[in-house]
Amino acid sequence: MFLKTFFDIMDRCINWFLALLMAGMVVIISAQVWYRFILNDPLSWSEEAGRYLFVWISFLGAAAGVRYQVHLGIDLMDKLLPPEVYRWVIVLVNLIIQIFLVMIIYWGFKILGIIQFQESPSMHISMRYPYMAVPVGGIFMLINSLRIMVAALQNRSLDREVRI
């Protein structure tokens, strides 16, 4: 019961954070359009900020996609294979995904050590913050992939309803 509550809170936090990042990106890009074309005085930092927000949205959105199982898949396998065999296919596929994600997380943290002293050109922030999206998103994808695999091993499915 504790894990279910924890994962529900984690899912909601990711969903809210994604919504806030999207809202922030829309506001920043809209401000950039206003300043550039209406006031004829473009903001120097808005394009960079929008790009970094988009990177975070991509990696956290991928984690949410893994959680709600909306990523690309082959539905034909579900229809062709018997349920018991398909269950083991889900386990095997998620195991391969997890191996890949462990490498992404490892190298993502490794690159943070290299990039931490580099500064972004317009905003003058450490490049560690934009690059941190890779291991953080990877960790959430790994957690969600493990959840799917465990549910498949227990012969149950995670609900796919998005809660905010």
Distance of alpha carbon 56 from alpha carbon 69, whole angstroms: 19
Distance of alpha carbon 143 from alpha carbon 66, whole angstroms: 9
pLDDT classification of 71: cutoffs 50, 70, 90: confident
Distance of alpha carbon 43 from alpha carbon 38, whole angstroms: 12
pLDDT at 156 over 90: no
pTM: 0.90
- Domain range annotation of the chain: 2-153
pLDDT at 146 over 90: yes
Pair 50, 21: CB distance under 8 Å: no
